[in-house]
């Protein structure tokens, strides 16, 4: 690639055809395609004694010793201690141990640490503290430790961790299986013979070969090149393939589009250019996962609520009521065990893991399950163009064919196809032949006499053929416009050249590459004879077309409230044309605005405003993509980024949701949160809808969990204060265990997705939770009050307590404990049907799993109430009459819950939303970015909620996003030489046993 293509100076009139240049039209046309050539540089030798190759790190950039940009291939062989016969098997094995396998390293999670990580968050710590309280601090008043509560708490912790571990491990194994199925092969010469091995087995010094259609398996320098053209779109974002000659470097992950080549491997695995890009991924560790932030805030709400009432109980029960040490401790344990939503991290993880498996059915493999929650709230989708929005396959735009001679557009297409190879095609020949529809027409009715394939010098193809119908010899050539018009001698007028120039300039403004076609006839039967002179007959437009489903996908995304922005390495004109074809719009900017900012006098006051307003950006490098994503996040948006190349990896990693499309490189897949296994973006719409379903399930559970926390701590604190009621801690454990079993089924509940991006409005969640919690508290306190203060239930239903008593023997009557247990267990679980619905609970049918689990849990609760008589806790069975009364009582109190929900929406929630909308409108008017500053302590607190061992990994790799991937050719060339030098230096420190020979 030349410097011009890298600079990617955008604009309707690029380098191809500057209007105000004083040079001739021919020269203008030449300049149009200059970008597809290579700058010639004379090779140099390493100015050191190659027999010693004792180079130190500080010598690597010393051009007095080695010109890293132009080191000759012979010196590469000497540095790598190899030759063109390849390595032997023994040496290859030694180098595998020295350099490692040729693949990107994947961090293997320790299964035990992964299991323990589900117990590593403040909610679990409180439960673990409660377990310690039960076993260590409960040795008081001559009583033994509370073993029952200790075992129950530990069991609850292990059940939650086991479920989360199992589901997350399943999701991880599905991804691993996908990655293993994508393992590429390589053709390598070992012991002088060629064989095919997995590319992971390649080592520096190996001789490899590849041909058209193959993926280059490792970074290499070419030792043999036959008309080679390499597609580096995954690396540079350029649509068009690049010609490669002897001594050039080919990068791992690029695709051979034409020709055959052999090369010597200079770098493998993480040391390749792709590996270097991948090493940048994940190092930008200044952010905490969005779900972890939400978990932290919900957890803080629950912990603060519990803390307030625990402190109140300590003051009232010990200071006021003079409780004994053990009695007060049991009351505090009730609040700790019952109030902590211990299952919350697990329920959310299971919901996400099950959701990941559901998304896999739509060919979307989720590699970071918390990304599903973030995908539901994505407001902006930044999409790479080449290979993502487009097919990454050149096509002839038939609608724009220009004709100049007596031939029609169809005739021009057919003649251009004649001048194309039908086998071992390059990208342009393939595009021309495929445009015929029936590829057999490219040779039908003609006899091939001579064919000259494209080469970087002539920049054209040429065919001489005999037309079978007439027996005449004819010749057709196609290629770079400037070259073709120079060849033309027949019917070449100034008017024709002006018209051609205008057409080429029009194509350039639309981002279309021009391909000229000329024709001549031969008088005799000598295929090498002179013709009657070439005549320009047509101009073809080549472009990378959008995928068939892309426009519909973008429309669907917009309907879901997600704005799509194109971010591409291609030129501005190409980006605008693609945007117009997709309905994205052509309001796009060159990447340089990210550095220079909006032009003086433009309608944009700031760069952030420009980025928000733009339909896309062109000519971007990885650091630009990264910067765009980072700025959009700074403006308060959740941002998704799609891509397929290693150059996309840093931005994929930075984005809230990184999406690697089908056919993406290992580096992109490693950085992405979601890997698509089907072409195009249509899967993303399914993923967005699916993620919003999953989000609704999590939101429903969050309201429920917070409401139950309020319900437990407020209820039992008030009962303790009002009646000196001492509820047994073990029964709270039973309630929590049954709740968890039921709530797990929320992961497959039937809910409707939102048509707008979802967001965690915690003020709404907490408001609903407080309202529900206080109402349910009232239902329990009212029941206990009536039982304690009156004989209402005996008078109406004839139910009694022990020994036929009309009222309980006291506030701590064992049967009263059982009545309270049953009332709390039933109505608390029933609350989920209210929180999961937007209207009346009976209008939105729950899943069979949720309904079945609820019924089983209530049956178990009722059986416990009827028969349980645990000797170690303060309960006794109650009669069927009391069980019936509790059920009817709960049904009566459950009915108004929907009306409480509606009342909250009409009052508190409405005011909260009005206040939020007003604040957002004020920020937009003032141009203040929606950012949230936070202390380091808060960030650490949030990170503790991660359901992975990221807190361990983060300590080991606290490295900022320092170096950036640059795409300038001289940098790539320099990097390749550094690779060879470093590999050589490693081998010098570990000399081969055969090197002396």
Name beta bridge partners: 900: none
Please give the structure tokens belonging to residue 663.
Answer: 């056919």
Q: What is the reported pTM?
A: 0.68
Cβ contact 841:833 at 8 Å = yes
More confident residue, 145 or 868: 868
Dihedral of alpha carbons 221, 224, 230, 234, sign:
negative
CB atoms within 10 A of CB 54: 11
- What does the pLDDT look like over 96-119, one tens digit per residue? 888 888 877 666 667 788 788 777
Please name the helix (run of DSSP H) or strand (run of DSSP E) that holds residue 31, with its range, or none: helix 25-33
More confident residue, 612 or 14: 612
Q: Which of 499, 496, 484, 497 is nearest to 533 (CA)?
A: 484
Between the alpha carbon of residue 647 and those of residues 106, 250, 664, 726, 981, the distances in Å are 19, 16, 11, 63, 24
Interaxial angle between packed helices 762-789 and 897-904, expressed in degrees from 0 to 180 and rounded to the nearest 10: 140
Between CA 362 and CA 175 the distance in angstroms is 14
* DSSP letter, residue 145: P
Q: Which of 125, 106, 70 is nearest to 182 (CA)?
A: 106
Calculated CA dihedral for residues 480, 482, 488, 491, nearest 10 degrees:
110
Please give the structure tokens belonging to residue 573.
Answer: 């004109």
Q: Which of 896, 921, 616, 623 is nearest to 776 (CA)?
A: 896
Between CA 95 and CA 256 the distance in angstroms is 27
From the candidates 248, 384, 570, 740, give the one annotated as an active-site residue: 384
Active site residue 384: yes
**What confidence tier does 70 reach under pLDDT thresholds 50, 70, 90?**
low
Cβ contact 516:539 at 8 Å = yes
Is pLDDT at 177 greater than 80 in this prediction?
A: no
Q: Which residues contact 823 (CB under 8 A, 6 or more apart)?
A: 779, 780, 783, 886, 889, 890
Q: Name, of 256-270, 443-457, 895-909, the range with top average pLDDT.
A: 895-909
- The backbone torsions φ and ψ at residue 946, rounded to the nearest 5 degrees and listed phi first, read -65, 130
- What does the pLDDT look like over 241-300, one tens digit per residue? 788 888 888 888 788 888 889 999 888 887 777 676 655 554 443 344 567 778 778 888
- What does the pLDDT look like over 329-339, one tens digit per residue? 889 989 988 88
Cβ contact 976:73 at 8 Å = no
Q: Would you state the pLDDT for residue 996?
A: 41
Please give the structure tokens belonging to residue 291.
Answer: 């779900």
Is pLDDT at 593 greater than 90 in this prediction?
A: no
Helices (H) and strands (E) in the chain, counts: 36, 22
Name beta bridge partners: 523: none
Between CA 95 and CA 586 the distance in angstroms is 51
Between the alpha carbon of residue 908 and those of residues 295, 312, 773, 784, the distances in Å are 23, 28, 16, 30
Is pLDDT at 785 greater than 60 in this prediction?
A: yes
Write down the residue that tokens 């203060």 correspond to: 789
More confident residue, 280 or 894: 894
Please give the structure tokens belonging to residue 943.
Answer: 């990170």
Dihedral of alpha carbons 297, 301, 303, 308, sign:
positive
């Amino acid at each position: 690639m030349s410097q011009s293509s890298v600079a990617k100076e955008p604009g309707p009139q690029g380098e191809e055809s500057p209007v105000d240049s004083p040079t001739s039209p021919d020269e203008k046309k030449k300049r149009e395609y200059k970008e597809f050539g290579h700058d010639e540089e004379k090779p140099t030798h390493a100015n050191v004694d190659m027999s010693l190759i004792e180079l130190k790190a500080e010598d690597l950039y010393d051009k007095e010793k080695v010109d890293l940009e132009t080191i000759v291939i012979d010196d590469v062989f000497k540095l790598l201690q190899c030759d063109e016969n390849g390595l032997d098997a023994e040496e290859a094995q030694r180098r595998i141990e020295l350099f490692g396998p040729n693949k990107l390293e994947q961090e293997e999670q320790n299964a035990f640490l992964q299991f323990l990580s589900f117990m590593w968050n403040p909610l679990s710590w409180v439960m673990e503290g409660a377990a310690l309280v039960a076993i260590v601090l409960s040795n008081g008043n001559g009583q033994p430790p509370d073993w029952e509560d200790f075992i129950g708490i530990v069991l609850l912790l292990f059940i939650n961790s086991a479920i989360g571990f199992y589901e997350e491990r399943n999701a991880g194994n599905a991804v691993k299986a996908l990655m293993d199925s994508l393992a590429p092969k390589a053709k390598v010469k070992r012991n002088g013979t060629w064989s095919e091995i997995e590319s992971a087995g390649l080592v520096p010094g190996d001789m490899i070969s590849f041909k058209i259609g193959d993926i280059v398996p490792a970074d290499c320098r070419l030792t043999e090149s036959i008309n080679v053209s390499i597609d580096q779109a995954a690396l540079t974002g350029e649509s068009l393939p690049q010609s490669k000659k002897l001594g050039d470097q080919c990068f791992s992950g690029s695709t051979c589009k034409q020709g055959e080549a052999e090369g010597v491997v200079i770098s493998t695995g993480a040391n390749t250019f792709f590996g270097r890009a991948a090493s940048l991924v994940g190092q930008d560790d200044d952010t905490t996962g969005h779900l972890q932030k939400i978990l932290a805030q919900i957890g803080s709400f629950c912990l603060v609520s519990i803390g307030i009432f625990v402190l109140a109980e300590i003051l009232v029960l010990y200071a006021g009521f003079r409780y004994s040490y053990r009695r007060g401790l049991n009351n505090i344990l009730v609040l700790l065990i019952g109030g902590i939503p211990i299952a919350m991290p697990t329920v959310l993880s299971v919901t996400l893991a099950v959701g990941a498996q559901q998304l896999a059915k739509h060919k979307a493999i989720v590699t970071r399950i918390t990304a599903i929650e973030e995908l539901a709230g994505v407001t902006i989708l930044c999409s790479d163009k080449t290979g993502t929005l487009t097919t990454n396959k050149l096509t002839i735009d038939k609608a724009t064919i220009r004709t100049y001679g007596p031939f029609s557009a169809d005739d021009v297409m057919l003649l251009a196809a004649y001048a194309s190879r039908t086998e071992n095609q390059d990208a342009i020949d393939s595009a021309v032949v495929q445009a015929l529809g029936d590829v057999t027409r490219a040779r039908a009715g003609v006899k091939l006499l001579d064919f000259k394939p494209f080469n970087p010098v002539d920049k054209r193809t040429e065919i001489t053929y005999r037309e079978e119908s007439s027996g005449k010899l004819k010749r057709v050539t196609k290629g770079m416009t400037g070259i073709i018009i120079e060849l033309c001698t027949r019917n070449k007028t100034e008017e024709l050249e002006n018209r051609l120039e205008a057409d080429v300039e029009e194509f350039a403004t639309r981002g279309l590459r021009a391909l000229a076609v000329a024709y001549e006839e031969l008088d005799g039967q000598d295929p090498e004879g002179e013709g009657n002179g070439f005549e320009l007959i047509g101009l073809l437009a080549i472009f990378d077309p959008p995928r068939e489903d892309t426009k519909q996908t973008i429309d669907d995304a917009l309907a879901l409230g997600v704005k799509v922005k194109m971010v591409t390495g291609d030129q501005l004109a190409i980006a605008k044309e693609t945007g117009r074809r997709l309905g994205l719009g052509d309001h796009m900017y060159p990447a340089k605005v990210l550095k220079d900012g909006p032009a003086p006098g433009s309608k944009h006051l700031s760069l952030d405003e420009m980025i928000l307003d733009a339909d896309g950006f062109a000519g971007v490098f990885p650091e630009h993509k990264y910067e765009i994503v980072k700025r959009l996040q700074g403006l308060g948006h959740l941002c998704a980024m799609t891509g397929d190349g290693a150059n996309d990896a840093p931005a994929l990693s930075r984005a809230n949701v990184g999406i690697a499309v089908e056919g993406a490189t290992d580096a992109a897949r490693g950085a992405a949160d979601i890997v698509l296994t089907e072409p195009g973006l249509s899967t993303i719409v399914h993923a967005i809808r699916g993620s919003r379903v999953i989000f609704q399930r999590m939101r429903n559970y969050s309201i429920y969990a917070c409401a139950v926390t309020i319900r437990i701590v407020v209820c039992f604190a008030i009962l303790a204060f009002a009646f000196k009621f001492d509820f047994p801690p073990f029964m709270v454990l039973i309630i929590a265990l049954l709740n968890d079993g039921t709530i797990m089924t929320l992961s497959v509940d039937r809910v409707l997705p939102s048509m707008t991006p979802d967001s965690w409005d915690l003020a709404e969640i907490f408001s609903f939770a407080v309202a529900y919690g206080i109402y349910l508290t009232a239902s329990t306190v009212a029941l206990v009050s009536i039982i304690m203060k009156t004989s209402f239930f005996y008078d109406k239903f004839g139910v009694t307590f022990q020994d036929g008593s009309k009222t309980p023997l006291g506030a701590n009557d064992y049967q009263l404990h059982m009545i309270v247990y049953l009332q709390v267990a039933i109505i608390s679980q029933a609350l989920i049907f209210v929180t999961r619905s937007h209207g009346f609970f009976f209008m939105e049918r729950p899943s069979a799993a949720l309904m079945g689990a609820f019924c089983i849990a209530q049956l178990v609760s009722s059986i416990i109430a009827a028969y349980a008589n645990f000797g170690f806790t303060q309960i006794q069975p109650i009669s069927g009459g009391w069980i019936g009364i509790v059920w009817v009582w709960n049904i009566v109190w459950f009915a108004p819950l929907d009306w409480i929900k509606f009342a909250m929406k009409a009052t508190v929630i409405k005011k909260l939303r009005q206040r939020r909308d007003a604040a957002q409108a004020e920020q937009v008017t003032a141009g203040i970015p929606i950012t949230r500053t936070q202390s380091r302590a808060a960030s650490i607190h949030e990170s503790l909620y991660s359901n992975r061992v990221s807190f361990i990994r983060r300590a080991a790799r606290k490295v900022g996003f320092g170096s950036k991937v640059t795409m300038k050719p001289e940098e790539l060339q320099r990097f390749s030489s550094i690779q060879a030098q470093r590999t050589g230096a490693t081998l010098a420190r570990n000399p081969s046993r055969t090197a002396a020979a």
